[in-house]
Structure 1
């Protein structure tokens, strides 16, 4: 049995079968391909953002200099996080397999451009297509995912979006793509909303290899 092969926590047979028709995979970045230790309670406290409110939504309601200052504070937190980020177990092997299979691949993240590029560079993430919050509305908006489907000339049902949070599931569903949630053995209340909930990247590697080879 390959490493991770028994780590699928939730997936219908139909959804697992749908992996055979995959033409592209889009990844979230933080805690999906690379580690992240962003201290959101501290970010909220610094910005004055209420608990339960999305930080990006909170900043978007500001105007002028206040918004610029809040954005810079968030970017500073993100850049500090990027400098300490490491590739997650199985990341490079999975990307190599995706290339071997001839699948399209991209990253869509809520990160700022500078932090995302630093994480990709420092961790040798060999994925050229990167979309950050500066280019399209942030997840759970499907805008970035739909843009990539159009760019790739690929039906959305033949693309999978992989992430670690509820927004990732929602973005995939809003784009009518296959949603894959990485649980990392966490008990998540929204796991059942994902088409496929899987423990980690090695498990996804094993699942994808069985489906496509």
Structure 2
């Protein structure tokens, strides 16, 4: 089944639907997370009394960034076309759901998604676990073979493959360091739209 035939499209948010503005190394320094360590997983390993204030601090950072979010070029056009084609659209993010909804609203993209189709880290285990993606597919009564997972980081691609979905890797730099985990690679969402509908891209 090629991309144009797949009716379920699940997007990562930060750096995929939105322009990447998170400085994760700075966030790690602020929280005392060792360089290169996944933030959520590190906090999960801490005792509850140490993790709780750090999670609150992380939440405040996410809220600040949500208010500054900008849409990725081509996002609205791609989502409009997918809706027109009758596709189901979801968001799977390692962010909190409330921050994800704020981010999407700030970018003018919330209109494309039902709120219960935006899945954050409190609704399902965080990527690279595939649970959130599978939860969306179960809601839609669609098989994994019908799904596309679009993201800009390794965890997005790993989650997609673990769920049995086709994966699209978005990397504006064109370096694609995680290319071995992706079925398709594009620099931005305009390029993805042209890949899906070569003669229909807007």
Q: Same fold (TM over 0.5)?
A: yes
2:188 counterpart of 1:204: no
Closer, same or farther: CA 212–21 of 1 in aligned 2, 3 Å: farther
| 2-structure distance, mates of 1:68, 1:139 | 21
Contact 1:19/1:211 (<8 A) preserved: no
Look up the match of 2:90. Answer: 106
Task: Please report the TM-score for the alignment, with normalisation by the length of structure 2.
Answer: 0.92
Question: 2 CA distance for matches of 1:171 and 1:27?
Answer: 11
User: Runs of 4+ in structure 1 displaced over 2 angstroms?
Assistant: 209-213
Question: Which of structures 1 and 2 has the larger relative contact order (alpha carbons within 8 angstroms, sep 6+)?
Answer: 1
- CA distance in 1: counterparts of 2:182 and 2:17, whole angstroms: 18
Which has the larger displacement, 44-53 or 154-163?
44-53
SS of aligned partner of 2:164: coil
Write out aligned runs for 1:185-204 (5 A): 185-204=173-192
Computed over aligned residues only, the root mean square deviation of the Cα atoms, in angstroms, reads 1.7
Distance in 1, matches of 2:142 and 2:107, equals 29
Higher deviation after alignment, 165-174 or 178-187:
178-187
CA deviation digits over 1:31-80, x for unaligned, max 9?
11112312212211122111221110011112333211010111111111
Unaligned runs of 5+ in 1: 1-16
Number of the residue aligned with 2:69: 85
TM-score computed with the length of structure 1 as normaliser: 0.87
| Structure 2 unaligned residues grouped into runs of 5+ | none
- What does 1:115-154 correspond to in 2, within 5 Å? 115-125=99-109, 126-128=112-114, 129-154=117-142
Q: Please report how far the alpha carbon of residue 212 of structure 1 lies from its aligned counterpart in structure 2 after TM superposition.
A: 8.9
Whether the aligned pair in 1 keeps the contact of 2:25 and 2:36 (CA below 8 Å) is no
Instruction: Provide the C-alpha distance between the structure 1 equivalents of 2:195 and 2:120, rounded to a whole number of angstroms.
Output: 28
